[in-house]
Chains A and B, each alone.
Chain A
Amino acid sequence: MLRTTGAIACVAALSVGLWAAPVSANKANDTLNVAWDQQIDNADAYFNTNREGILLARMVWDQLIERDPETFQYKPALATAWRWVDDLTLEFDLRQGVKFQDGQPFDAEDVVYTLNFVSNPANKVLNTTNVGWIKNAEKVDQYKVRIHLKAPFPAALEYIAGPIPIYPHVYYAKVGPDGMGRHPVGTGPYKVQSLEPGKSITLVKNTDYWNDSPKGNPKIGKIVVSFPPEKTTQMAELLSGGLDWIWYVPTDQVKNLERVKGLTVTSGETMRVGYIYFDAAGRTGKSPLQDVRVRQAIAYSINRPEFTKTFFASTANVLKGPCFPTQFGCYQGATQYDYNLAKAKELMKEAGHPDGFSTTLYAFRQPPSWEDALAGYMRQIGIQAQIQLLQYPAFRNKNHEGVTPISFGDWGSYSINDASAILGNFFTGSPDDFSGDMELQGWVHEADTNSDPKKREEFYKKAIDRIMDRMYWLPMNSYAIYYAHTSELNFTPYKDEIPRYYLYSWK
C-alpha cells in the first residue's frame, strides 16, 4: 500500500511539474534571462555569421538606417537623411549628439573607418556578401559621408539597414576584431556588462542611449544570455523560472508548454529558409553527386511537405525556389520536385547507382531528429548518409574547406529582403558555392548588380531555373519557429527573425 501510494505520488509530482506555473523572480529583478542555441565565436558583428551574432549586434550597435520590423520601411538612425548621388554613390547626413558607450562622440570618422576596414579584403571579414559591394567610404565633413560602390548594387540600402553596424573608430583601431569580440562597444540600446565566451553574455540598459532612436528607449534593465546546449534543459529552466525566453522550441513540445500556466508560446514564419545542397562541383572529390540525376533523385526522395508538417509550426511553408518568397527577385515558377519515390529510384538506376552509395550529411541545426529524417528519406533510395552534426562555426568552416558532400543548413539572409542576400552568398563563386557553374554565377552577379529592376528579375529567373533544373540546391521550407516565454513579457516575433529585446517590456 505504501509502495503504491509512493509511486502514485511520484507520478503526480512529475505531472504537476509540467503544469506548475514558473516562478518569475526575474521581473522583480528587471532581468530577462534568455537562452540562445548557437554560441558566438566572435562578438564582433563582422566576424561571426550566425543569427545569435545578429541579435547581439542589434542590441549593442546601431546602423545608419533602421528598417521597421513590421512595415520594412527605412527610418533614420545614425543617419538622418540619405540620397543616391549617382548609381555608384550614396550620401548620408549623420546624426549629431550621439555618443558611443565608451564616451567617444559619433561622427563621420567612425563611419569611414568602419566601412573602409570591413570592406578591405585584407581584414577578412567573414561574410563578404554584406560588405563586398563597398569600394570605400569618404568623409565629406564631420557629419556627412559618401559611400562609393564598386558596381551598381540596388540592395545597398537593405544592407546598410541590416548587417552593417557602425563602430567607434578610436577603440576599434586600438583593439581590432579580437578586442571588439571580447569587449564590444557601440552606440546601441544595451551595453555589454560581461562576456564569457561560450558561457554567458550580460547586457545592461544604456541609460545614455540617444533620443529619437527608432529603436526607442530600452525598457528592460538587464538581459542575461546563456547557451544551454540541450533543448530539454532550456525547457526545464523555463518551467522552473531560470529562463524567461527560449526559441526554436521543438514542435512536439509545444502542446506541453502551452498547457503551463504562466508561459506563452508564440509562433511565426520567418525569412529563414532550409536547404540541402550538394557538391555538384566535385570539391570533395569525384562522387555520384556530380551527376544531376543523382541530385534530382535525392530531391524526389525527400517528402518536404511531410518534413515541414512534422518538424515546424503550421505557419511554415514548403519553398518553390532557393529564396524566401517576399525577397525581391525570388521567382516562384521553376521546376518542382514533388515527392516521388518511384521516379527517384528510376533516376538512381539511370545514373548507374541502383543500390545507392555512402556519403556524409553535414548539419548544425538541432534537434538531430531533423537530420535523422533526411537520412531516412535518402535510405529509401539506397543512400547511406552518415550524419555529422556540428556547432555552426565548425559547420561553416567545413563547408568553406569544401569537404561537405551534402549539407543541410538554413539561411536567414541576414534578414535582407532581397534575393541577392541568399543567391549572392551561394552562387557567386564564394566558399559556399558548390555548383561550380560559371554561367550561373554570371547571371546571379548580373542580377545582384543591375540597377534596372526588370533586368534583375530576368536574371534571377534564369538563375533560379538553372539551380532547380540542375538541382544544385534543394529548397526545403521556410522556418516558422516557436518561441516560449514567460507570460509577463510583452513579446512580438518578427518575420526577419530578429527578436528585438529593446522593444520588449514587462507586463
Chain B
Amino acid sequence: MAAVPTDRSRQAQGKGRPLFVYFIKRSFVALLVAITVSVVSFLLLHVSGDLAQSLAGPSASAADVAQVRKAYGLDRPMVIQYLDWAGKAIRGDFGYSFFLKQPVFPIIADRLPVTMMLGVSALVIALFVSIPLGIAAALRPNSWIDRLALTVSVFGQALPSFWFGLLLMMLFGVTLRWLPVSGTGGWQYYVMPAITLSYYSIPTFMRLTRAGMMEVLASDYIRTARAKGLRTPTVLFKHALRNAIIPLVAVAAVQLGFALGGSIVIEAVFSLHGVGYLGWESISRADFPVVQAIVLILALFYIVLTLLADLLNAFLDPRIRVR
C-alpha cells in the first residue's frame, strides 16, 4: 500500500532554511536575553540596599563598612563591578552566602537535582494525563469526556497550588499514610509535590492537544487515510498526533521552565530542599547573593529550554524556519 502522504512529508519537500542557520539565529537571540537577565540579576543585589553594610554586618562601624566596600571592590564603577561579577559568574563563582557563610554555587548545585527531579516529574505526569485526555476530548467533542476535560482545565487554573498540595498531604500523608508528608528523600517524597506542580500545566497541555487534534482530524490527509482503510490507532497516533503535538513541544519546554521557577511554593509546603525552597529561605533572610544566583540560573535554564523547544519545533516543522 502506498504511503499516505503526510502533511509532514509535504513540509519536508517545501522550502526552509537549513536547521544550522536557524540554530545560530535563535542562539544569538538567546544570548542577548541571557545578557539582559544577567544585568537585571546583578542590579537586584545592588538595589536591595547598601551591600557593604550587609556584608559588614548590622553592628559594623562606618569605618568597617568603608573597609568592606574597598575590600569587595564595591567602590568601583558599576560597569566594572558588573563585568567582574559576570566574569566570575561564568566560572561558577557567585560569591558567598550571607547566611550559610559558604560559596553560593555549591549550595545551589546541591539543591538543583531536587528541583530538576520535581520539575521533570511534574512535566511527565502532566503530559501523561493531559495527552490522552486531550485526544479523548477531541475524538468526542461536547461529550461527557469533553466536559470532564474542560472541568479539569478550569479547576487546574483556579485551584491554588499550595491548597491542593495540602489536600493531597492530608489525604495521602496523614489519613492513608501511603506517602511521606514532607521532606527530601527517595522517590516517594516527590509524588505529592510533583502531582501538585503538574496540576497547573495539565489544563494548558490538555487544551492544546484537544485543539491540535481537532484541527488535524479535520484535515484532508486524515480523511484520505481513513478512506484508505487504515486502522483508527494508526490514523490517530502515526499521522494525526505527530502533527497535533508540535505546539505542545514548545509549551512543554516553557512549562518546565515555569515549573522550575514556580516550585518555590510547592517546595516550601512539602519542605523539599530544592532551589525553590532555598530561594524562599534566602528572600526571607535577605541572603541576596543566593537570591541573585538563583534568579540568574533559573532564568538561564528557561532560556536554554526555550531555545531547545524552538529547535525541536523547527526540526519537526520546517515551515517554522522560513518565518
Contacts and interface: CB of A to CB of B under 8 A. Distances in A.
Interface of A: 10, 13-14, 16-18, 20, 23, 39, 41-42, 124, 126, 128, 178, 181, 197-199, 226-230, 232-233, 236-237, 239-240, 242, 389-391, 393-394, 396-401, 403, 431
A391 B285 contact: yes
B174 interface: yes
B91 to A, nearest CB: 24
A181 B99 CA distance: 11
Interface string B40-82: 0000000001000110011110000000000000000000000
Interface string B159-180: 0000000100111011111001
A230 B269 contact: yes
Contacts of B180: 240, 242
Contacts of A390: 284-286
B58 A233 contact: no
B271 to A, nearest CB: 4
Contacts of A389: 284
Contacts of B54: 397
A397 B58 contact: yes
Contacts of B171: 10, 13-14, 17
Instruction: Tell me if B's interface is mostly helix, strand, loop or mixed.
Output: loop
A97 B173 CA distance: 49
**Size class of B's contact patch?**
35 or more
B170 A233 contact: no
Interface in B238-293: 268-271, 273, 277-278, 280-281, 284-287
B281 A229 contact: yes
Contacts of A178: 101
B322 interface: no
Nearest to B175: A17
Residue of A124, A198, A237, A239 with most chain B CB atoms under a 10 A cut-off: A198
A391 B268 CA distance: 14
Contacts of A400: 58-59
A233 B183 CA distance: 10
A229 B282 CA distance: 13
Contacts of A41: 99, 285
Nearest to A233: B182
Nearest to B173: A240
Contact of B181 (A227, A237, A396): A237
Nearest to B182: A233
Given A240-B177, A242-B180, A226 B271 contact: yes
25 contacts: A10-B171, A16-B175, A17-B171, A124-B60, A198-B278, A198-B281, A226-B271, A229-B280, A232-B166, A233-B181, A233-B270, A236-B166, A236-B174, A237-B182, A390-B285, A390-B286, A391-B281, A391-B284, A393-B99, A393-B285, A394-B286, A397-B286, A398-B286, A399-B58, A431-B59
Nearest to B58: A400
| 5 pairs of A and B residues whose beta carbons are closest in the complex | A400-B58, A17-B175, A394-B286, A391-B284, A391-B285
Given A13-B175, A240-B173, A240-B177, A124 B57 contact: yes
B32 interface: no
Contact of B285 (A10, A23, A124, A394): A394
A25 B164 CA distance: 28
B181 A242 contact: yes
Contacts of B280: 229
B282 to A, nearest CB: 9
Interface in B187-212: none
B46 to A, nearest CB: 16
Nearest to B270: A233
B318 to A, nearest CB: 48
A228 B101 contact: no
A128 B180 CA distance: 43
B182 A242 contact: yes
B174 A240 contact: yes
B230 interface: no
B175 A236 contact: no
A17 B177 CA distance: 9
Given A16-B175, A236-B170, 19 more contacts: A13-B171, A20-B174, A23-B177, A41-B99, A42-B101, A126-B59, A197-B100, A227-B271, A229-B277, A232-B169, A233-B269, A236-B166, A240-B177, A242-B183, A389-B284, A394-B285, A397-B57, A400-B58, A400-B59
Contacts of A13: 171, 175-176
